Chain A
Amino acid sequence: MNANITPIVMPKWGLSMSEGKLTGWLKPVGAKIAVGDEIMEVETDKIVNVVEADAAGTLRRVIGEDGVVYPVKALIGVIAGDDVADEEIEAFVAGYSAPASEEGGDEDSGARYEFVATPFGRLRYAKRGEGAEVVILVHGFGGDLDNWLFNIEALAGAGTVYALDLPGHGQSDKKLGEASLGWLASAVIAFMDAVGESSAHLVGHSMGGAVAARVALDQPGRVKSLALIGSAGLGPEINGAYLDGFVAAGARRDLKPLLEQLFDDPALVNRQLVDEVLKYKRIDGVEAALRSLAAGVFPEGRQTSVLAEGLKASGIPALVIWGETDRIIPAAHASALGAGAKSETLAGAGHMVQMEKAGRVNELLLAHLSA
């Protein structure tokens, strides 16, 4: 196989993805491609997103057709240098066979997630990678571990990555002992105990960032570093109308415009994304849990717990990432940790910056983890 030929394949975003629909090429055949260029758009049963090139060259073949569903790892196109002969590319395409999925067939899709019993209830999690460095991803208010859909595989190169569903969220138990950051932080520590990890790098999004920061302040010995993404806990402002609306919304019609506020590009909110959130919100106990959590952590649309000064004093290495058009927590909070922390605000991204600008966020996280 010619090392200058790079296949473009249907990506695997998150544990449950088995196929995706190509919704459009963003580059024509013959276009010069640089690493990180957006080359095509893919829709999954969760979300629409762009696929970035992981190799430079020329887009020599476009195989995938718009509107067609392909299994994960199926060949969609070919990037190669101009010096590679057409025959070689033909041979590459003809000889390509998708690597067998490590997850097995569709039948056991439920088995791809794991569950662990803790004093804070049964918690669901996903685990990727094997390395010595341990990374734990903590989602935000009303979210779940699939908020890390575009990150978990990429970060697995840096070590052992866990993403969990906080109590009251995703498929974890829905009962909250106490609606506070402190209680959720204790749940994360209990999760670390249950999976046998003494210390970890914590990556938190939104409310999950404040939870991660709370863990770092409560148990500094167990937190090697923090990465805070569109994070709570760095200033008093938060979009209270969004929180109230999200808690109350029981129908697609009400929920969709709210979810659109989470993204710079509202078109990313497709039917499946809304359905997933609605399915979660219908479960008995969820509305009560979210209502109490919103009242406990963000009463009257303000953040009661601002941890920035404590974090600065703690000396824990921290990375802060924000989406420039974040409509939930203002991007101005990105500078709250001062010069001691690396901070980057990404254009063209809203609150869900780790989804919208996954490539750049993953780069920043990998650099932070290896520092």
Chain B
Amino acid sequence: MTRKISFKTAINEALDLEMTRDPNVILLGEDIVGGSGAPGEADAWGGVLGVTKGLYAKHGGRLLDTPLSESAYVGAAIGAAACGMRPVAELMFIDFMGVCFDQIFNQAAKFRYMFGGKAKTPVVIRAMVGAGFRAAAQHSQMLTPLFTHIPGLKVVCPSNAYEAKGLLIQAIRDDDPVIFCEHKNLYGLECEVPEESYAIPFGEANIAREGKDVTIVSYGLTVNRALEAAEKLARKDRVEAEVIDLRTLSPIDWDTVLESVESTGRLVVVDEANPRCSLASDVAAYVAQHAFGALKSAPQMVTAPHTPTPFSPSLEDLYVPSADAIVAAVGKTIARAKAA
């Protein structure tokens, strides 16, 4: 049956279901058991925000609390994957990924290619992404473009609890390394989620809202901002925006993006990452190259500015793309069309 649960609970449920289904699924990370590791709810924190709470009591030694050394346990997870396990490593904040780039970029991403398809690396690396959590510049980055840039990695960034559960289950079942990006400000957001197990295929974008006037492409938390913007546009300006949730950045569903722009003629890309070499610039460039004739106005990008995330709350609120900024960007695509 279906009930309302939070994004955080959906992640927990996906891990639990896959650990139950497949004994090769193991979890590694800092404090994912927590406390002294006693098998009771009371003594196990289940990670810094409680995402893995309760799993130690059920699955015991298949959850490994690791030392504070990302390079060591991410490497261990990748090695275990190459040897037949299906590890899920939790990196807490994606900002810490820097110390394990060799393991991820040079090892995990390359095994299948360099061993002529004879090796597979079914590892999932979960990490929190995004700003808005008052956690300052070293715990707030949206580093999705870095991983999308590397062939051999799959990059997933869900926008709500339903998507999170189905995409994480698919990530664990997938035979390639998957970077699974969880926006920390989505953890409390609830929606209808089936109790049962289900997998959402990679490379298929979700049309979160249909519309005929403009295409808004986004992923992760900002899909919700885009939907808010679309409602405002419909109410105030009678502009019907189509909102596309990419779901997976690698592989990416170009067909859905192009089909939508071919029908609306206008594109706004919303990306919480910094603007240079981002998903925003990637999607804008791809559409400009492949659907130039359909465009009625220049594609617009709504992103964070090219600066570190500020610690000042008022500045941080300005930093993250807002619904109003998206409405303004849509306005530009339409104003230009009228002027033409």
Contacts and interface: CB of A to CB of B under 8 A. Distances in A.
Contact of A271 (B166, B210, B234): B210
A173 to B, nearest CB: 9
B200 interface: yes
B198 interface: yes
A109 B240 CA distance: 28
Interface in A270-293: 270-271, 275, 279, 282-285
Contact of A279 (B194, B204, B207, B255): B194
A279 B206 CA distance: 12
Interface stretch (B1-9, B103-111, B115-123): B1-9
Chain A interface residue number, banded = 20 to 34
A174 B196 contact: yes
Contact of A283 (B3, B197, B210, B240): B197
B207 to A, nearest CB: 6
Nearest to A21: B234
Contact of A250 (B166, B192, B201, B240): B201
Majority DSSP secondary structure for residues of B touching A = mixed
A271 B204 contact: no
Contacts of A252: 204, 207
Contacts of B135: none
A282 B3 contact: no
A251 B259 CA distance: 15
A115 interface: yes
B1 A110 contact: yes
A325 B4 CA distance: 39
Interface string B164-190: 001000000000000000000000000
Contact of A282 (B200, B207, B238, B240): B200
Interface string B226-268: 0000000010001010000000000000010000000000000
B199 interface: yes
A146 B115 CA distance: 50
A171 B2 contact: yes
A251 B196 CA distance: 19
A115 B210 CA distance: 33
A96 interface: no
Chain B interface residue number, banded = 20 to 34
A24 to B, nearest CB: 14
Given A67-B234, A270-B210, A283-B194, A110 B200 contact: no
A284 B2 CA distance: 14
A18 to B, nearest CB: 13
A221 to B, nearest CB: 32
Contacts of B238: 67
Interface in A84-143: 107, 109-110, 113, 115, 124
B17 to A, nearest CB: 9
A26 to B, nearest CB: 20
A353 to B, nearest CB: 26
Contacts of A67: 234, 238, 240
Contacts of B207: 252, 271
Contact of A113 (B1, B194, B201, B240): B1
B65 to A, nearest CB: 30
Contacts of A271: 207, 209-210
Contact of A110 (B4, B162, B201, B240): B4
Contacts of A285: 196
A39 to B, nearest CB: 23
A279 B166 CA distance: 10
Interface string A158-171: 00000000000001
Interface string B1-39: 111100000000000000000000000000000000000
A157 to B, nearest CB: 28
Interface in B197-217: 197-201, 204, 206-207, 209-210
Contacts of B196: 174, 283-285
B2, B162, B206: which has the most chain A beta carbons within 10 Å? B2
B1 A283 contact: no
A285 B238 CA distance: 43
A279 B209 CA distance: 16
Contacts of B234: 67
Contact of A284 (B3, B198, B209, B255): B198
A171 B201 contact: no
Contact of B1 (A107, A115, A279): A115
Nearest to B210: A271
Contact of B198 (A107, A171, A270, A279): A279
Contacts of A171: 1-2, 194
A251 B256 CA distance: 11
B248 to A, nearest CB: 13
A279 B2 CA distance: 11
Nearest to A113: B1
B204 A284 contact: no
A279 B197 CA distance: 11
Contacts of B210: 270-271
Nearest to A285: B196
Interface string A305-316: 000000000000
13 contacts: A110-B1, A110-B3, A115-B1, A124-B1, A174-B196, A251-B204, A252-B207, A279-B162, A279-B198, A283-B196, A284-B197, A284-B199, A285-B196
3 tightest A-B CB contacts, nearest first:
A282-B198, A284-B197, A110-B3
Interface of A: 67, 107, 109-110, 113, 115, 124, 171, 174, 250-253, 270-271, 275, 279, 282-285
Given A124-B1, A171-B2, A283-B196, 14 more contacts: A67-B240, A107-B4, A109-B4, A109-B192, A110-B3, A110-B192, A171-B1, A253-B255, A271-B210, A275-B206, A282-B199, A283-B197, A283-B198, A284-B199
